[in-house]
Amino acid sequence: MLTIVVWFGSQTRPFAAPASDGNEPSGTPAQGAQAAETPPLLPLENVPKTPPALLDQPPSEPSGSPNETQAATPPPSEQPPPGPVVPTAPRLAPPPLPSPEEAPPPAAQPIAPSEEQPPPAPVARKQRPKKVIAPPSASGAQASGPPVKEIEVVYVGPKSVNRSMILSNMHTTVGQPYVATTVEEDVRNLYATGLFTNLRITSEPMGDGVKVLVVVQPKPLIKEIVIKGAQGVKIETVKHQMKAKVGDPLSEFQISADAEKIKEYYQNHGFGDAQVNYKIDVNEEFGRAVVTMLISEGEKRFITLMRFEGNNSFPAKELQKQFKTKKKNLLSFFNKSGLLKEEQFQEDLRKLKEFYQNHGYIDMSIRDVKVDHPTKEETAITIVIHEGVQYRVGTIQLSGNQVYSNADILSSIKMREGSVFSPKGLDDDLKDLRDYYGQRGYIDAEIRPERLPNVESGKIDLLFKIAEGSQAYVDKIVIQGNTITKDKVIRRELAVQPGDVYNSVQVDASRKWL
């Protein structure tokens, strides 16, 4: 192997002095002799080994003999005048060449960009076949079961449901593997039709497969609906209130619901004493049922009198305004007034009690409700009331507030000492206190009111326990779900911006605006 070393030596060729008039020769005889006597380059193996020179040291003297050096150097009288000084860069001495026996290993040849070798081709990996795990009802599970040779339907009771109807709601079929999970799904599907009272699916061996037995007990079908006792209401109108129809599978739950619906219709039309019962007759042999509705209408009555007892603070006319149940009047044929509806009447009594409590009568109660029938077409209602003591607000105290003073907080509520106390007024003041803190960023503030009634003095002392929490700021506003309206259109409608103190009132207002 051949090692090529390129080395630039330390000897330099002197610059020629510029000619003054163009007639002088470009060099002197001494310079020509020096050039002619320049020693030739030595072979690489004969080059003396010298240590490398430092930048700040002059180059070492040549290793020739004194005589040769003197002969090559011209005498001082023959030397040409010095030329202009040309600055030169510092030169490094050549590094020592290794001897033939100590030659270093050959350096790696750099590869040109155009000659770069292509990357090695990826080694093809052996692909393993994917293992697919199928659900229990999939083909993998089906293949493990024995094949279905036959499906037999066994009826317990009348055959009111066709065999084709049963098989159409099953995934288990002849020729397919028998799978337990599929059979369970078939049972659920058959029950979901609402046609069966009871059913089960079993299997038994048959040759190299199985025989599937479907044992069903169908529900009887409604053959006829009979209405008895309907005199004040047409029979077709009564049947129209029922969801059960002729030909439907019998459902006692639905029949019971229909009886309640008929009773409600009677009461809403003046038959306050109406009662509705039902009877079901089933023919087990043919799978048919007859449903009979037994109605006791009673008398159709209207409210002709409504009076109150024990109402010392409010007149009967004022209390009557709290009721939707009204006496019979000239417009009763159109607005259905004058009818006693039990559900509506109970709601009216609840509103009457709320009316009294909002006027300070916290202990008000309804002691009795009397319903009389002076005649077979009239109804008189008497409501007995116990009003109790009217309570007023005693002292109002605060506890736990550290950021804001009592005077600032109490200025935000409406109830004052000596004013009439009411649960509604307390709820309104509680909301005002929460808004007071919410407007100032204390969205986690907790306020719990305590009532301390004094029956002797007729006053209720109030204590608001406050846990203020920390003040919150708006970090960022995220808008989601706006597929049509742009964000900037929504943001300009908001009353809060990032960096503001969180104001719960403005946030609620922004939500309402949007």
**Same domain, yes or no, for 340 and 291?**
no
Of 386, 403, 426, which residue is a domain's last?
386
d(CA 49, CA 61): 13
pLDDT over 90 (residue 503): no
Identify whether residues 310 and 372 lie together within a single domain.
yes
Does residue 373 sit in the same domain as residue 430? Answer: no
Residues 236 and 292 in one domain: yes
Within-domain flag for 169:
yes
pLDDT (tens digit per residue) in 2-60: 333 334 344 444 444 444 444 444 444 444 444 444 455 555 455 455 554 444 444 44
For residues 203 and 225, state if they share a domain: no
Is 104 contained in some domain?
A: no
Q: Does residue 6 lie within any of the structural domains?
A: no
Are 378 and 311 part of one and the same domain? yes
- Tokens 């150097």: give the residue: 73
Instruction: Specify the CATH number for the domain of residue 245.
Output: 3.10.20.310
Asked whether residue 490 is assigned to any structural domain, the reply reads yes
Domain residue limits at 404: 393-434+445-470
Highest mean pLDDT among 65-69, 128-132, 176-180, 477-481: 176-180
In a domain, 366, yes or no: yes
Of the three residues 198, 218, 238, the one that is the final residue of a domain is 218
Lowest-confidence segment of 67-71, 352-356, 384-388, 409-413 by average pLDDT: 67-71
Number of domains in the chain: 5
One domain, residues 314 and 368: yes
Q: Centre a 10 Å sphere on the Cβ of residue 94 and count the other Cβ atoms it contains.
A: 15
Instruction: List the structure tokens of 200.
Output: 């089960």
CA distance 349 to 322: 9
Percent of the chain with pLDDT over 90: 40
pTM (2 d.p.): 0.51
CB 437 within 8 A of CB 371: no
Distance CA 352, CA 366 (A): 9
Residue pLDDT, tens place only, 73-124: 444 444 555 554 444 444 545 555 555 444 455 444 444 444 445 555 555 5
Same domain membership, residue 253 and residue 234: yes
Shared domain check, 343 and 327: yes
Mean confidence (pLDDT) of the chain: 77
Q: Are residues 290 and 311 in the same domain?
A: no
Per the domain annotation, does 38 fall within a domain? no
Residues 199 and 249 in one domain: no
Beta bridge partners of 225: 291
Report the alpha-carbon distance of residue 188 to residue 171 in Å, rounded: 11
CB 311 within 8 A of CB 389: no
* pLDDT (average), residues 432-436: 92
In a domain, 482, yes or no: yes
Q: Among residues 168, 197, 218, which one ends one of the domains?
A: 218
pLDDT for 465 beyond 90: yes
Please give the pLDDT value at position 121.
54
* Residue 339 near residue 377, CB atoms below 8 Å: no
Residue with tokens 């929490």: 469
210: which DSSP letter? E
DSSP 21: S
pLDDT class for 292, splitting at 50, 70, 90?
very high
Residue 166 sits in the same domain as residue 193: yes
Question: For residue 410, is it within any domain?
Answer: yes
Check residue 77 and report its DSSP letter: G
- Residue 94 to residue 64: CA distance in whole angstroms: 18
